[in-house]
């Protein structure tokens, strides 16, 4: 499992109701990542993505801007233990 990682991210700003989760899923699938994304009750979006480090870095860069209608103010991220998922889901 060389150079494969999982990262957990919390995205703040205007990120709910702007197709953020669906757009994140599209990006992740295109990058060959697995994991999930979900809305949080406090208005943030949470993402858990697993895959090749380079693909994760591309997704992290995308999360900092998000889809066209989003206004991202902050992205916090931390590497977490490897987890295996069959796909990238919207929870």
- Any idea which residues carry the catalytic annotation? 21, 39
- At 64 the three-state DSSP class reads coil
- Token pair of 9 as six digits: 């991210």
Name every residue whose Cβ is closer than 8 Å to that of residue 53 and which is 6 or more positions away in sequence.
3, 4, 5
Phi, psi of 25 (to 5 degrees): -60, -45
């Amino acid at each position: 499992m060389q150079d494969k990682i999982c990262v957990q991210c919390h995205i703040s700003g205007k990120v709910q109701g702007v197709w953020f989760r669906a757009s994140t899923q599209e990006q992740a699938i295109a990058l060959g990542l697995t994991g999930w994304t979900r809305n949080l009750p406090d208005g943030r979006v949470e993402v858990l993505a697993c895959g090749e480090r380079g693909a994760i870095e591309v997704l992290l860069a995308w999360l900092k801007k998000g889809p066209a209608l989003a206004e991202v103010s902050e992205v916090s991220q931390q590497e977490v233990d490897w987890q295996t998922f069959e796909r990238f889901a919207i929870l």
